Each structure stands twice: as C-alpha cells, then as structure tokens.
Structure 1
C-alpha cells in the first residue's frame, strides 16, 4: 500500500486533469499548476479519442464526459488526390467507435470534470526549479522527504511527489534530465479549421457522414469530415524541409497560409480547396512543425515522474496522442495507489514504455506516406490497397484494445491489470 498522500501536477492540458482525478480516486490529493494565466478554452484543432482512451477515462471515473461533445467515427477512408479510394478501415470488431472532438471541447470537459471531482487548478504558475528533499534517505520505504516546485512568480508548492504533465516541451523533463532529447521535426507543418454550414458541390466533395476522409494529395495530406449541410472540419499536413515554431508560422498570417494551402491542393480532384476557401481566417489553427520524440530515456527521478507527451510524445499522425496521455495518467495513479513511489514509478514505466514507443514508430511510417515524393506517391497508391487487403486487422487494432482494470492490484511485476478489451491472438504491427 502506498503512503503517498499529496501530488503536484505540472501542466493542465489533457494528461494533467486526468491525472488529478485518477490520483484523487487513488486517495492522493493533487493540485494542477498551469503556466498559462487563464484556462486555454478555444485553443486547438481536432483530435480523436480512440476506444482505449475512452476506456481509460472510464477507469478514472470520467466515463461519459467526452461523448456529448464529440462525433463518432465509424470508418477512416483513404483516397489519393485523383479521388481513387485506396483503403477503408472500420471500427475494430468488438470495440466502440473512435470519437472526433475539438480540443477546446475536450479541454473544457476535462477541466470541468476535474473541478467536480475536487481537483484544484492554479494558473500563472510557470515552473523554474524542482527541489527534492531527503530523496536518498527514503528510497527503500517511499516515506519521508518531499518535493517542492518553484515558480517564476516566486511562489512555491510542496507535496510528496511531482508529476510532469507539461507536454512535448516539458520543463519537468529537462529539470530531471538536462540531457533529455528535444522534440524532433517530422517534416510536416500542421493546419486545421472548423467550417460553418454552406453550399457543397457533390461533384467535388461528398458529405462524409460518420466517416473520416483522408486524402494523400499530390503535394500534401488533407483530412476532413463534412456534413450534409456543408458544415465540418479539416486539417492539412504540409511537407516542408525546415520546421517552424507555432509562433513563427502564425506570424506569416492566416490569409497567406490559406492562399498557400489553396495553391497546394489546387490540382487534386477531391477539392480540399472548397473547404479551405470557406474557412474564416480567424478560425485557422496554425500548429507549426509537427513533432515527436522517439524515446525519452528518463521517465522518473527521485520523487518526480513524467506522463503524456512529456514522457512519450507521438506525432498527431498516430491518432493516439490524447488516448496514450490519458492511459498513462491512469496507470501512474494505480501504481501510486498500491506501491511506494520508487517501485510505483519503475512499474509504471515498465507498463508503458514498450507500448507507447511502438505506437510512435507506427506514426513515423504514416508521416513518411504523407510526405512522399513523386515516385513514393506512385508506389504508395499501388501498394496500399494490396497491403490493406493482406493486412491482419489486428496490426491496426491492437493499440485500441488496451484495457485498464482499475480494481486490479498492481505489483512490481509491471503489467498487472492490463488486458485486451477483447481477447485476441497476439500480433505485431
């Protein structure tokens, strides 16, 4: 039984509030400290919550909070720029549909739920230092000592442990390991927007219903959903040799980026241009360079551990970033519920590392397809339909079948309580 009673969580994005609720369920009082001055309502584009993410939310006691603000996606349809259907992937057998949600809606739902569960969030708290107390004296028992977070405004907060949930550019990661790897640019710039209802030319762009459509265009990648009334949302991944930060990309201006995107997709038959042209520049989400981190050597040190993108940042192409962050927050809480923190942190890493790094590698292959050159496009369009017909469905579905049994006790063996949602034969991606 763990003796941990209090936790500092740095970062209030997705993993932070989930960790606060899950820790509370485990009997650990947690406070979230967010660097931004206010809540980040209204910031961000679309993302998906996979069945494994929905399952992890339920394990934390947050079941049902995403469904009211999301849209079920029953299939993902891949086409090339000429309109040819390359492949279609439906929901894996025995699993619920993926949920498409705008990040601001997910953010709001998680923060509202965290507040209802008694978690406190403090804003304007940018971490600058971590002080660990008597960390070497209590390694065997997990008792005594503590950790203090020092913030830029001069304030301090102390607790038994500290959790870094502060994203791909984690300050916590750098503080516990100054040699930690930096984010890696994957060769794509990210954009997206929501579009209001309006006229649709069915000869150019059909409504998608409950499907998500992905277009491997001649020059860039485009994803979209489109309702019968013309409303919907889209995102684009634009290949570029050198990266740009989000602020650098936004400095170019939304009008200019929309012009570039219209030009980029002008020759594709499935007219992404129609959606881009109906986009209000004020609604354009400019992400800048898409990034990942293939491996983070140090997930924990002393009384400090990492969750979410701070520990395992996958590029958006995985479709699993939010779901993996939610999973890790819940699994860490289970470990801390049942084990002294040194064992809890080591067991948590043993549970998670192989799984998340495998998914990061899968996303790397998707990024390569999105940025394919002329020869690569031809080979991709020829081989993808064949590969999809021959593919073992579980090579796609296995990430989604991850189930967390909250009630199962955790032992230092590592993976207790982690079983498939549906029993299937093991397979490799």
Structure 2
C-alpha cells in the first residue's frame, strides 16, 4: 500500500530538514545516502558566513562525518590539537591531557569554516537548501507532514526533522511545554591572528582559568594562532548584541579583564583585528528534553540535546545523531524508526551533558570558588584516569549495517 507521499508500509521516502547549521546539512547528506530525498530549509536569507566562534570537533564526530564521506573536507579546514594544558591564573599548570592511545586528536575549527565545508559538500551532492524560510507551524496526518513558513509558503514530506538548534521552533511544536535553554553564566568570544607574537604551542591547546575570565589559545609553527574567551556575564548575550558594541570595544574590555593573569592574552588581543572578532553569544545547554518526536516530527542535533561549548562535543554529537537518525529511517517504519533512534542516542548524549555541567561551574567560579578549584583540580586530575573518558570519543558508525 502506497500513500500520497510515496510511503510504502510506513517507510520514509522524503524529508523536510529544518535548519542549515551543522545538523541540517549532515542530516540531509545522511538521508540522501540512505535513499531518502531531503530538502533543507534555513530561516536566514543567506549562509552563516562570518557568524560564530571556534569549536572543537572530537574524534567521535569525525567517525560520523566519515560515515557520510565528508570527514576529509572538514579536516582540511580544521587544526589538530595534540592535547590540552590547563593552567590557573598565575601560570601554574593544573593538568595536561594528551591524545589517548588509539584515538585520533580533537581538531579545532572556526564555525563559519565548518558551515562552508558542509554547505559545499551538500551542493556537490545536488542537495537543495532553501533560504529565508522560517518555520512557524506544522500540520500532520496519516499521509504526511506540512511545514508552514513565515512567508506563507508550505512544504510537505513524509517526515519533518528539527535541526534548528538550541532555540528550536520544531521542539516547541513537538512539545509546547519543553524547557528553555539553560544559561551557563558566560559569553564566548574568539579570533584568528596572523602573527600571535607568542611561541608555538606544539599542537597543544592551553586553557587558563583566569581571575575574571577563561582564556584559551593555540599557536601554530608559522606564528598564526587562535584564541577564545569565556567571559562571565550577568545575563545571556546574543551574537547580535555582542556585534552591536563592536570588536574594538570587546578587545579593550577583554584586555582589561585578562590583566593580571599570567597568559599571553594581552599580546594576542593586541594582535587581533577588531573586524575579525568572532562572537559566539552565551554558553547555554539544554536541560533534559522530555520529547524528541511526535507523529512525523523529530529532533536532532542541538534541538534535541545541547551540551554547552565546554564539552567540545556539541557538533560531534549532532553529527552522530543525524547519521543515526538517517539509518533508522532507512531501515524501519516511521514510528519504530523514531523510537529506535531515541533509544540509541538519548543515554549517551544525556551522560555527556551531565559531565559538562561541572566544567561550566569551574569557568564561572567566583573568588572563593577559584581558590578551591585551583587547589582541588590537580588532585582530582591525578586521581582520575583519562582512559575512563575514552568512551566519549569512541562511537564507530557502520552506515551500511542494518538497524536492529
């Protein structure tokens, strides 16, 4: 029996993917590889060039990227991190983590470069992205689901996938009582510099818990480098609000905030072109989302699960979930596919979100908390074996294997 959208015995043939960030194009490419026609609908009227700061891409994320053949394109625009050195405000080394045996290094990428690489890969596969389509509502019945956009247009498919980020409209359509994102107490800033004026860090990312902010940096052999800051703020800041004040204002403010910390912040901020500043908005996470799907609508990426940027896992988990969702939709009738997808993904992502909450508390610590943190962290890291965290970075995906 075939219905009007071409679905045979509940199997999905077409999908509407809402959101053109990371999860959107990854989902569309994975669906195409699974034999499902997918169209991406992006709310903004243009690609997200120059928007957002930098991020870490964990090796488990690359396992998902490789499963759909885009891993090498993303490696080409990212930088290898051989490990992380944690420091206190006075330069004292608190801990050092190298790459775990048998696990590839984490890589650092500017968000806009990641968006561009994914957009170009999707275009090569002749996938369609429609810009300027902000979803406002959706209706569904036994034959399909229809997205209603702000401009009055509509689109219909077998399934509607919300890949529209932390403030997902699709999440609200699935669950009107869904929790709002949780503010983690900091805002993110960053930049690339062509001449850092700082010695190369030999592939290591250095991170300092400063007296008034968290500053991280890495410098390559040719003198180029990148830095990012998590600045404690009293209320959430959007990238637009950061941008309104301008790069010159924030460079001056961050220089003042970092003064007195034993880091290269002063030199690297002075070497930064104000027009090259990257604004990442507030660090936020998503409390446990009760519902991931309803009928023909389902969530993926940050719309379903959003650890804060402290985890270094946001984009990687989004890629994992997007690929796994495509496999489930390929192999199972719709209701079972969405149930199996959630069963595969929810325990893992919620465990990582929980782990990240502790990191955020350290970054936004006050004067007393800072003293306690710097005293306890070296002891904690000596007791904790890095190998115990290896589970986060191992998530092999055999795309062709059938989903049970």
- Relative to the length of structure 1, the TM-score reads 0.89
Does 2:378 correspond to 1:385? yes
- Tell me the alpha carbon deviations over residues 371-413 of structure 1, each in whole angstroms, 9 at most, x when there is no partner: 11222222222222222222122332221011112122112xx
Query: How far, CA to CA, are the matches of 2:11 and 2:273 in structure 1?
Result: 53
Equivalent residue, structure 1, for 2:322: 329
Deviation at 1:258, TM superposition (A): 1.4
Query: How far, CA to CA, are the matches of 1:243 and 1:13 in structure 2?
Result: 21
Q: 2:27 aligns with which of 19, 22, 27?
A: 19
SS at match of 2:385: coil
Deviation at 1:242, TM superposition (A): 2.2
Q: 1:340 aligns with which of 333, 336, 339?
A: 333
Query: How far, CA to CA, are the matches of 2:154 and 2:287 in structure 1?
Result: 33
Equivalent residue, structure 2, for 1:151: 149
Query: How far, CA to CA, are the matches of 1:245 and 1:309 in structure 2?
Result: 17
Deviates more, 1:361-370 or 1:38-47: 38-47
Deviation at 1:218, TM superposition (A): 1.1
Q: Does structure 1 conserve the Cα–Cα contact (< 8 Å) formed by 2:138 and 2:146? A: yes
Equivalent residue, structure 2, for 1:424: none
- Show the 5 A alignment for 1:246-261: 246-261=239-254
SS at match of 1:66: helix
Does 2:33 correspond to 1:35? no
Equivalent residue, structure 1, for 2:170: 172
- Show the 5 A alignment for 1:219-298: 219-298=212-291
Equivalent residue, structure 2, for 1:120: 128
Q: Does structure 2 conserve the Cα–Cα contact (< 8 Å) formed by 1:2 and 1:337? A: no
Equivalent residue, structure 2, for 1:376: 369
SS at match of 1:298: coil
Query: How far, CA to CA, are the matches of 1:316 and 1:63 in structure 2?
Result: 21
Query: How far, CA to CA, are the matches of 1:262 and 1:395 in structure 2?
Result: 37
- Show the 5 A alignment for 1:25-104: 25-104=33-112
Unaligned runs of 5+ in 2: 1-8
- Tell me the alpha carbon deviations over residues 155-184 of structure 1, each in whole angstroms, 9 at most, x when there is no partner: 111111010000001111111111111111
Deviation at 1:241, TM superposition (A): 2.5
Tell me the matched-pair count: 396
Q: Does structure 2 conserve the Cα–Cα contact (< 8 Å) formed by 1:225 and 1:233? A: yes
- Tell me the alpha carbon deviations over residues 216-275 of structure 1, each in whole angstroms, 9 at most, x when there is no partner: 111110111113443211110111232223323333332222111111110011131111
Query: How far, CA to CA, are the matches of 1:286 and 1:105 in structure 2?
Result: 14
Deviates more, 1:161-170 or 1:276-285: 276-285
Q: Does structure 2 conserve the Cα–Cα contact (< 8 Å) formed by 1:265 and 1:271? A: no
Query: How far, CA to CA, are the matches of 1:166 and 1:67 in structure 2?
Result: 24
Query: How far, CA to CA, are the matches of 1:248 and 1:71 in structure 2?
Result: 29
Q: 2:118 aligns with which of 110, 120, 125?
A: 110
Unaligned runs of 5+ in 1: 135-144, 412-429
SS at match of 1:57: helix
Deviates more, 1:310-319 or 1:240-249: 240-249
- Relative to the length of structure 2, the TM-score reads 0.95
Q: Does structure 2 conserve the Cα–Cα contact (< 8 Å) formed by 1:2 and 1:338? A: no
Q: Does structure 2 conserve the Cα–Cα contact (< 8 Å) formed by 1:294 and 1:357? A: no
Q: Does structure 2 conserve the Cα–Cα contact (< 8 Å) formed by 1:23 and 1:30? A: yes
Q: Does structure 2 conserve the Cα–Cα contact (< 8 Å) formed by 1:47 and 1:103? A: yes
SS at match of 1:312: coil
Does 2:356 correspond to 1:363? yes
Calculate the aligned-residue CA RMSD, in Å.
1.4
Deviates more, 1:184-193 or 1:242-251: 242-251
